[in-house]
Chains A and B, each alone.
Chain A
Amino acid sequence: MDLATHQRKLLGLIRSTYQVCPNDDAYIHAVAQSQDLIEARRNIFLWRIYVLERTCPLTLRLLKGRGLLEEAVSAFIAEHNISPFRETQGPAFLDMLSSHTDQLIASVAQFELALMKVRQGDSSSYTISWDVEPHNILYSLAKDIPITDEVPKGVYHILVSSELPSLFQIVCLE
């Protein structure tokens, strides 16, 4: 087996995109059936969690609270070509979640992504729509305490800009 074939097949096994064929090398069969492969995937998952917990704590805590962390990170690993440059992983993860069907997850991810960009020197201004009152939610996520079940509905915008004293401002529209 030449180097390119060897590496392509291992990539496929790691990503669960390659099905072993009967005429594959015995080595590829051995890897495919190994507990090591399962643990390697677990290792990849753990590395992503470590980085994302540091770079996007608000969104990670919300996902944990909703029991969606494993699903979201697994989807991120499966669907994205994740760069080894750690500081790119958080923005890519938040970008993916910015269109989540759970509106609160989408809003928190959009907010955290905008804040990250502005902190890194982005001079743009961002407006994120919320359909619930953001103060208590952001406070709970920042302090890592559970979000109360009764969250007041409303129409809000969060403005994110380096021009703002604390980089963001919550505006109640109704």
Chain B
Amino acid sequence: MGMVHHAAPTNSVQEQTSKCSVGATYEGRDPALLDRILPHVDYIEVTLETIAEVRDDKLRLSDEVMSELKDIGKAAQIIVHGVSLSIGSHDGWQPTYLNLLDDFLQQIDVAWHSEHLGYTKVDAQHLGIMLAMPKTEQALDMVCERVGRIQDRYKLPFLLENIVHVVPDFPGKYSDAGFLNALTDRTGCGLIVDAYNLECDAHNHGFDISEFLAELNPRNVREVHVACGVEHNGFLLDVHSQLTRNSTVELAQHIVNQAAGNAQVVVYEFMPEAVPGLGHDAIAGELARLRAAFGH
């Protein structure tokens, strides 16, 4: 763990926050929660891995959840955010995810879809966690080729997200921001910047958020994520189980401002397992707070 903590750039009193829509994760099977979320959001983020279930020995989208999502209608736009594509696996991505995405897109209109810039499997063995790409030319070439195939297949905007570094970073050719800039320059894909992931990296590895944001081309940032997890043995863990900290919201405001109108939505992410502990009131309150912070 890095000993030097680099403070995140804060949103000074003088800095006027750019307006931005608000979104929230919703994984279905909790219509009372959805009713509390919808008045506060413009976007609902759906993770297909969570709404998939096993039927007839195959992974399929839950009919129950799909029905709920269809009923949202014009109350919010749907965006799909995957976790298992594993776009960075040397041995190929996860086709099961794309099969589910095919099925989803045939039934529901989405504004765009996204994934994480990392990998969850190696040689068909699941890691149980997501690891960041080594920022090498070989990795960049491979990911760019795959992004192109996804863009050709879906004809929808596709975004990739910076992920937490759970093990020390590999000293590759590119910096984190440099890798993202090269990726977006070559492919035209957009970016999700996860403010909490940046804070985890700063806390756990001394990652310099200011330097990252100064180098990152803000034109490509279309979505910003906020979340909060727990600290264990001095490490901030990327589990989405808490309400966001003020510092995360301030960092998200800074990112949105820097993106100068390109960032369309700030999404509050929480896992379904956290809902009983957080409670519907607190989640709705968090979204109202974000709505106020981003002035939309």
- What count of chain A residues pass the 8 Å CB interface test? 43
Measured CB to CB, the closest approach of chain A to B115, in angstroms, equals 12
Cα A19 to Cα B10 with chains together (Å): 43
Cα A38 to Cα B232 with chains together (Å): 11
- A84, B83: Cβ atoms closer than 8 Å: yes
Choose among B49, B124, B232, B241 the residue that contacts A86 (Cβ–Cβ < 8 A).
Answer: B49
- B166, A91: Cβ atoms closer than 8 Å: no
Contacts of A75 in B (CB 8 A): none
Cα A87 to Cα B65 with chains together (Å): 13
- The prevalent SS among residues of A at the interface is helix
Measured CB to CB, the closest approach of chain B to A39, in angstroms, equals 5
Chain B 144-181, CB-CB to A under 8 Å as 1, else 0, gives 00000000000000000000001110110000000000
- A34, B49: Cβ atoms closer than 8 Å: no
Q: Which residue of B lies closest to A34 (CB)?
A: B168
Choose among A36, A54, A77, A88 the residue that contacts B167 (Cβ–Cβ < 8 A).
Answer: A36
Cα A46 to Cα B231 with chains together (Å): 12
Contacts of B170 in A (CB 8 A): 6, 27
Choose among A8, A38, A84 the residue that contacts B122 (Cβ–Cβ < 8 A).
Answer: A8
B91 lies within 8 A of chain A by Cβ? yes
- Given the interface pairs A43-B129, A46-B239, A87-B54, the reply to whether A36 lies near B90 with Cβ below 8 Å is no
B190 lies within 8 A of chain A by Cβ? no
- B167, A37: Cβ atoms closer than 8 Å: yes
- A43, B131: Cβ atoms closer than 8 Å: no
- Given the interface pairs A3-B136, A7-B122, A39-B237, the reply to whether A120 lies near B128 with Cβ below 8 Å is no
Q: Which residue of A lies closest to B59 (CB)?
A: A85
Scan residues 1-56 of chain A and give those whose CB is less than 8 A from a CB of chain B: 2-4, 6-8, 10-11, 13-15, 27, 30-31, 34-40, 42-44, 46-48, 50-51, 53-54
- B273, A88: Cβ atoms closer than 8 Å: no
- Given the interface pairs A6-B134, A36-B166, the reply to whether A47 lies near B125 with Cβ below 8 Å is no
A82 lies within 8 A of chain B by Cβ? yes
- The prevalent SS among residues of B at the interface is mixed
Scan residues 99-122 of chain B and give those whose CB is less than 8 A from a CB of chain A: 119-120, 122
- Given the interface pairs A3-B136, A36-B167, A85-B96, the reply to whether A50 lies near B59 with Cβ below 8 Å is no
- A7, B126: Cβ atoms closer than 8 Å: no
Q: How many A-B residue pairs have CB under 8 A?
A: 121
- What count of chain B residues pass the 8 Å CB interface test? 49
A81 lies within 8 A of chain B by Cβ? yes
Cα A46 to Cα B171 with chains together (Å): 28
- B167, A10: Cβ atoms closer than 8 Å: yes
B253 lies within 8 A of chain A by Cβ? no
- B122, A39: Cβ atoms closer than 8 Å: no
- B129, A121: Cβ atoms closer than 8 Å: no
**Apart from A14-B167, A27-B170, A39-B237, what 14 extra A-B contacts exist at CB < 8 Å?**
A7-B89, A11-B123, A15-B125, A36-B1, A39-B235, A43-B129, A46-B237, A53-B273, A54-B273, A84-B83, A84-B120, A85-B84, A91-B54, A120-B54
